[in-house]
Chain A
Amino acid sequence: MARIELTGVTKRFGEVAALSDISLDVADGQFFVLLGETGAGKTTTLRLIAGLDRPSEGRVLIDGQDVTNWGAAERDVAIVLQQYSLYPRYTVRQNLEFPLRSPIRPTSAAEIAERVTRVARTLRIEHLLDRKTDRLSGGEMQRVSIGRAIVRTPKVFLMDEPLSALDAKLREALRAELKDLQMTLGATFLFVTHDQVEAMSMGDRIGVLNKGRLVQVGTPQEIYANPVNTFVARAVGSPAMNLMPGEVRDGRAIMGEGALTLPVEGAPQGRPLIFGIRPEDLQLGGEGVAARVSDVENHGVEQIVTLEAGGHRLRATAPVTQRLAVNETVPMAWVPDKVVLFDAATGRRLRA
């Protein structure tokens, strides 16, 4: 069990700063997700915590202890990677036993057998124990990789996109299993991904990384409802939040050359703004401004509608039962108190 802290961590590779002044506090027993695009610095952060790399500046603490200069083996962390690094000629059982045979932390044979059995039961791979790992499916291999990490009961679990190589259905199943596992173990998980659905669905808290900087840390609900800037607003939610530049005049949001205007509350007048509205907070039908339907995607559970209004392209979600035809003009309105205001110059959110 462990708390992870990073204080003022910067990591440079030559001239390039992969991470800039990151401070982060992951509480004991928390499922923390780092969300970012390729190259945002997620994996670098994880490697610094694992002890596979050293920060250029700043400190890494595990359980209050400064481990910045400790080696990976001394830190008692387990890592699960996207590519399962299993020993192909070994059986599943041998793979699971391997971390327990470490000379640094010797374990008795009886204890090894017991732990392997327990882990196999938790991950439902008991029937695979005597199989060679090269004869497993992708999902089974990833389960074994996770098993190899948890068999040791380390202080911290670090996971680098462990689900991204799996197909959608399996990813979904393992998502729930991992979350369940973390709750059962009560362990600290640091999970890295570029998939916002994974981040939202599993994380107790999410840290959004952009170009080596930690932009926002919060619960999934906070990140979704109160993004600190337009980057975060776009990073979570699918389809993404609609963002339209404009300004407020006489209590109305004027977007573009006055072509799209909608009522807005409590916004400063005459200042360049970006208006943000989530697809589910746009309403089609009833009262509103005219919008042309340019595309309708039927996702079964709901429709995603692409609209054109006043030179803007917007996306809205609508119930499957609502009849919408391409090229049709529909009245469109937004829920005024769901509008998020950003400063046009900096992209930062205005105080609500």
Chain B
Amino acid sequence: MSPRIELNNIDKYFGAFHVIKNVSLSVEETEFVVFLGQSGCGKTTTLRAIAGLETIDSGEIRIAGRAVQDTRPEERDIAFVFQSFALYPHLTVYENMAFPLRAVGLRRDEVDRTVRRVADVLQTTHLLRRRPSALSGGDLQRVAIGRALVRQPKAMLMDEPIGSLDAKLREEMRVELKRLHNEQGSTTIYVTHDQIEAMALADRIVVMHEGVLQQVGTPGEVYASPVNLFVAQFVGSPVMNVAEVALGEAGGAAGVTAAGAPAPFLLPSALLGQVAAKGAAGKPLSLGVRPEAVEVALDARDGFTQAEAHIIEPLGSHDIVDVRLGQATLRARTRSGFVPRPGTPVWLRLDPGRIHLFDSASGASLGVRL
């Protein structure tokens, strides 16, 4: 049975530096949880603490119900994959994968069976007789993952295991990792700074910033309902448009004017009431809207605001268009070739159901719903 991993009020200091701040989290049996954050946010330290490679200053770590914070790494029965693959250069791939099994005194035929089964899953059977120096980056990483898997760990901890690979290869490996997880069902905690990786792999994402858990949720929740500006701008590509705005009444609607823009966007008047109800009227507010929630038209329409297309990024399946309203810039997602060229006049509308308002000072979402 794959264990549940619980963190209860964990704190960790490096000298005076508070690197993990009162982190609590429960990772369920067979769940795939991704810690997402920038370098230095404490995600790797948290992972290392779970593995037993770092001590914690207070709090409790439970694996399958057992408190393990004072036990050694080898007593925790979890496997660990790092970004820098630590393979023995003088051993073949086979020997590298067999090593952890021999170390625990497994019988020769069992070792052989296990290594071949894992190699088959990871599609590395043809590499078994090679040495690490003769492998490509992707193959090396497959082998490193394979070596972690042969012991059939019930829990896996991975620290940016594919972070050093080329974009294309990373994408392929992502699919492999997910498939592997679906087959093995190990409880997995995975650390990355790459939000696409997080969205692709996670059952739940844990967004970390400056040692604090910002939000825990499914990829869909974190994307659609970010609790604050940090999460809003960390998840999603291109990043969510955010602009300081002034709110006002505009002909029976709510007018939202971005700093530097000559004209407001029109939104349902209910917005003003909701902002007032949150006690945020008159406070500095920021509007957040994802590129796909910016509707673009090539002709003037009722309720649309005039702007001008600037840079067009053709991504094949769709375009990202930088749009300018006076001094304000906004990015919109359109179908391929929709806006013919830079300089084209366009008209914009924001999808009211997908706008976010944040308190500019604290960054917290007001949670408006239109």
Listed in ascending order, the chain A residues whose CB lies under 8 Å from chain B are 37-38, 167-169, 172, 175-176, 179-180, 183, 194-197, 200-202, 219-221, 224-225, 234-240, 278-280, 294-295, 297-301, 304, 306, 317, 320, 326
Encoded as 1 (CB less than 8 Å from any A CB) or 0, chain B from 188 to 230 comes to 0000011110011100000000000000001110111000000
Q: Does B290 contact A (CB under 8 A)?
A: yes
A168 touches B322 (CB 8 A): no
Query: Do A300 and B224 form a contact, CB below 8 Å, given A37-B168, A169-B233, A194-B167?
Result: yes
A264 to B299, CA, bound (A): 37
Known: A167-B193, A299-B196, A300-B220. A240 touches B313 (CB 8 A): no
Chain B, range 306-323, C-beta contacts under 8 Å to A:
310-311, 313-317, 320, 322
| Bound-state Cα–Cα, A320 to B315, Å | 19
Q: A167-B38, A280-B317, A301-B333 are in contact. Are A183 and B311 (CB under 8 A)?
A: yes
User: How many angstroms from the CA of A40 to the CA of B303 in the assembled complex?
Assistant: 50
| A-B CB contact pairs (8 Å), 5 listed | A183-B311, A196-B167, A219-B314, A301-B223, A301-B290
> Within the assembled complex, what's the spacing in Å between the Cα atoms of A169 and B182?
30
Contact of B168 among A240, A278, A294, A301 (CB under 8 A): A240
Chain A positions within 8 Å of B38 at CB level: 167
Shortest beta-carbon distance from B140 to chain A in Å: 13
Do A200 and B182 contact each other (CB < 8 Å), given the known contacts A168-B193, A299-B199? no
- A195 contacts B171, C-beta separation under 8 Å: no
Q: Does the CB pair A306–B175 fall under 8 Å?
A: yes
Residues of A within 8 A of B317 (CB): 237, 278-280, 317
B237 touching A172, Cβ below 8 Å: yes
Cβ-defined contact, A239 with B171, below 8 A: yes
* Complex CA–CA separation, A301 to B222 (angstroms): 12
For A304, the chain B residues whose CB sits under 8 A away are: 200
Contacts of A240 in B (CB 8 A): 168, 171
- Is there a chain A Cβ closer than 8 Å to B238's Cβ? yes
12 further contact pairs, Cβ within 8 A, besides A194-B166, A278-B316, A297-B219: A37-B168, A167-B193, A168-B237, A169-B239, A175-B313, A197-B315, A201-B314, A297-B178, A298-B199, A300-B219, A300-B236, A320-B220
CA–CA, A252 and B242, complex, Å = 49
Contact among A168, A194, A202, A221 for B336, CB-based, below 8 A: A221
Residues of the A chain whose Cβ atoms lie less than 8 Å from the Cβ of B310? 180
Q: How far is the CA of A298 from the CA of B198 in the complex (A)?
A: 10
Chain A residues near B291 (CB-CB < 8 A): 301
Per-residue CB contact flags for chain B residues 221-261 toward chain A (1 = under 8 Å, else 0) read 01110000000011111110000000000000000000000
Q: Is the CB of A200 within 8 A of B220?
A: no
Q: Is B100 on the interface with A (CB-CB < 8 A)? A: no
Task: Tell whether, in the assembled complex, residue B166 and residue A37 are in contact, meaning their CB atoms are under 8 Å apart.
Answer: yes
Are the C-beta atoms of A172 and B239 separated by less than 8 Å?
Answer: yes
Taking a contact as CB atoms under 8 Å apart, the answer to whether A224 and B199 are in contact is no
Chain B interface residue count, CB cutoff 8 Å, equals 47
Q: B179 an interface residue at 8 Å Cβ cutoff? A: yes
Instruction: Given A298-B218, A301-B292, decide whether A172 and B193 contact each other with a Cβ distance below 8 A.
Output: no
Interface: B337 (CB within 8 A): yes
3 closest residue pairs by CB, A with B: A300-B223, A201-B313, A224-B316
Residues of chain B contacted by A294 (CB below 8 angstroms): 179, 182
Of residues B38, B171, B178, B315, which shows the largest number of chain A Cβ atoms within 10 Å of its Cβ? B315
Note all chain A residues with C-beta closer than 8 A to B201.
Answer: 297
The interface centre, meaning the residue of B39, B167, B200, B224 with most chain A CB atoms within 10 A of its CB, is B167
Give the Cβ gap from B93 to chain A, nearest Cβ, in Å.
21
> A281 CB to closest chain B CB, in angstroms?
9
How distant is A159 from chain B, measured CB to nearest CB, in Å? 17
Bound together, the chains give a CA A294 to CA B315 distance in angstroms of 26
Give A183 to B237 CA distance when docked, in angstroms.
23
Q: Which residues of A contact B223 (CB under 8 A)?
A: 298-301
CB of B283 to closest CB in A, whole Å:
25
Which residues of B have CB within 8 Å of A172? Answer: 237-239
Interface pair B219/A298, CB less than 8 Å apart: yes
Please determine whether A196 and B220 come into contact, CB atoms closer than 8 angstroms: no
Contact of A301 among B175, B236, B311, B322 (CB under 8 A): B236
CA distance A20 to B337 in the complex (A): 35
